[in-house]
Homo-oligomer: A and B are copies of this chain.
Amino acid sequence: MTVKLALLGAGRIGQVHARAISGIGGAALVAVADPLEAAASTVAHEYNCRVASIDEIAGIEDLDGVLICTPTNTHADLIERFARLGKAVFCEKPVDLDLQRVKACLEVVREAGAPLMLGFNRRFDPHFAAVRKAIVDGKVGAVEQVSITARDPGLPPFEYIDVSGGIFRDMTIHDFDIARFLLGEEISGVQATASVLVDPRVAEHDDFDTVTVVMTTADGKQCTIQNSRRATYGYDQRLEVFGSAGMLTAENQRPVSIELANSEGFTRPQLHDFFMTRYMDAYAAEIRAFVRTISEGTSPCPAGEDGLFALALAEAAIKSVEEGRKVQVSEVLST
């Protein structure tokens, strides 16, 4: 049996997922939709599927699932529409920038009983996943301090920043999810600090470019996230988990790992340039997991609730910056 999928949105990340599907034995991309016909056609040609409108896709009876890679402000509606049709839904983060809208959407999904998987790709990075597995295997004992460093090589365009929901909802959101993934229990308190250091225009667009967040669980575990919208040495993505019995680290990755020694010292090349190459394996593993959700009926993971909690952490961080205090996640979630 082949799992039949449709792709909504043929932009950069949509293409990544189309390629991932093509590499999975038991899955097939049957249709692609995009307002830009050229984008849709390119994917359709490359991966041998047909171009269709979203309405047409909604009408494909034997379709098993959709991948939503459209702009953020369309996510919640599309999730609801396809969940109600009983299709499995994979959606790029976030469900929505508004917490109440997310809650309402997840309620619809729950009622429809359709599986919803969120695109937190980093959980599928082989190195991060190996850290998680080692924690579960007891390699570091009780987790006590988690430290996540994530720096983008450069600022996104300001038009993107304007619709992104801000750095906490757009960039740190991935680290919030990884923090929850690694801590293995829910975060209760959030302290955040945010600055504009990369480019003063970021402030004009009501955003920050450099943030540090410290989170705690009910029993005192601590997790620190450091983010910057700039890194001259490549895409900085690493983490460290410290526990009662030891420490686990997942170091940065580089496409070419040679070293040149000369009178300047010992030099290794830059890191990956950005997420498309750094997380290439993670994207493929993520889509394989989504296909398994359909073919084997496993629970989707990360699920819609993971998107909700990560967004709640972003909201708490924003509130913490505004009010200069530790914010309880419950304050944000209960509103």
Contact = CB atoms under 8 A, between A and B. Distances in A.
By Cβ-Cβ distance, the 8 closest A-B pairs, closest first, are A195-B220, A246-B262, A233-B261, A325-B325, A324-B326, A247-B261, A267-B267, A130-B256
Given A145-B212, A242-B151, A265 B257 contact: no
A251 B256 contact: no
Nearest to A251: B257
A214 interface: yes
Nearest to A262: B246
Given A246-B233, A267-B265, A212 B222 contact: yes
A216 interface: yes
A282 to B, nearest CB: 13
Contact of A250 (B46, B242, B257): B257
A293 interface: no
Interface string A225-262: 01010111100100000101111111101011111111
Interface in A183-210: 189, 191, 193, 195-198, 210
A127 interface: yes
Nearest to A194: B220
Contacts of A101: none
Contact of A258 (B248, B255, B259, B326): B248
Interface in A38-85: 46
Contacts of A212: 145, 214, 222, 224
Copies in the complex: 4
Given A232-B247, A266-B268, 11 more contacts: A130-B269, A139-B260, A145-B210, A145-B212, A145-B226, A212-B222, A212-B224, A232-B245, A233-B261, A249-B259, A266-B269
A7 to B, nearest CB: 19
Interface in A98-147: 126-127, 130-131, 134, 139-140, 142, 144-145, 147
A157 interface: no
A305 B264 CA distance: 38
11 contacts: A130-B258, A130-B269, A144-B197, A145-B210, A145-B228, A197-B244, A211-B222, A228-B242, A233-B262, A246-B262, A250-B258
A221 B194 CA distance: 9
Contacts of A246: 232-233, 260-263
